[in-house]
Amino acid sequence: MTIHREGYKMIAATTIVFGIINVSFFYFFSYASPVLGWSVFAVTLILLIFIISFFRIPKRKLTIDADAIIAPADGKVVAIEEVQADEYFTDRRIQVSIFMSPLNVHVNRNPVNGEVAYSQYHKGKYLVAWHPKSSTENERHTVVYRQNGKEILVKQIAGAVAKRIINYLKPGQQVKQGEEMGFIKFGSRVDLLLPLDAKINVKIGDKPKGGVTLIATW
């Protein structure tokens, strides 16, 4: 396991705060109230471990398949439905939504090989990630991948807690399946808009792993 570069500053800052709080408590309160001092230590240690864990990148054997659309994120499948596209596309598409809790790995990966046909950041609200309007009203970043004339859309969506979406892709860029496309800090959601003839390989409630789980074939 390694730590994602997006977490270096936050982990460093959290470690400094952890040190200051605990040194202060043990210096001023440990004699008068040792229980309080140890309680503060335990709570702040759990917070530090959580922050470090949030930015983890576990070692995985990534799935590479030119005919497959691989999960761009860890999480839970919360929606599979036919929708009217509201950005880039003008037709109807199959939407697969993956909800990411704060405990999930938050690295986002390219679901396919191909060219980045579109990459656009949108400012927005911070509704809870499962809110029906979060995909159109929340802070989000949309990427469209083009492979052999076929296109899919991936939308990184901020939630009530997540307030920073990071995306590394630019239009015209050639990308490889499984490589990093971006990162979302804290709870969030990722939507995929797939062609209607895509064969879906997951169901609601499944817990895909980014870069590993087969979402669909096309």
Ordered by start, the domain boundaries in the chain are 2-57, 68-217
Fold of 68-217: Glucose Permease (Domain IIA) (2.70.70)
CB-based contact 14:48 (threshold 8 Å) = yes
Active-site residue flag, 101: no
pLDDT at residue 126, as a whole number: 56
Look at residue 151 and tell me whether its pLDDT is greater than 90.
yes
Q: Which candidate in 97, 119, 135, 188 is catalytic?
A: 188
Residue 157 near residue 191, CB atoms below 8 Å: yes
What is the Cα 153 distance to its own chain's centre?
15
Residue 67 CA, distance from chain mean position: 23
CA pair distance 120, 124, nearest whole angstrom: 13
For the stretch 55-105, pLDDT in tens is: 999 999 999 999 999 999 999 999 999 999 999 999 999 999 999 988 899
Report whether 113 contacts 176 (CB < 8 A): yes
Please tell me the pTM assigned to this model: 0.86
Rounded CA separation 101/63 (Å): 23
> 3-state DSSP call for residue 130?
coil
Q: Determine the pLDDT at residue 33.
A: 79
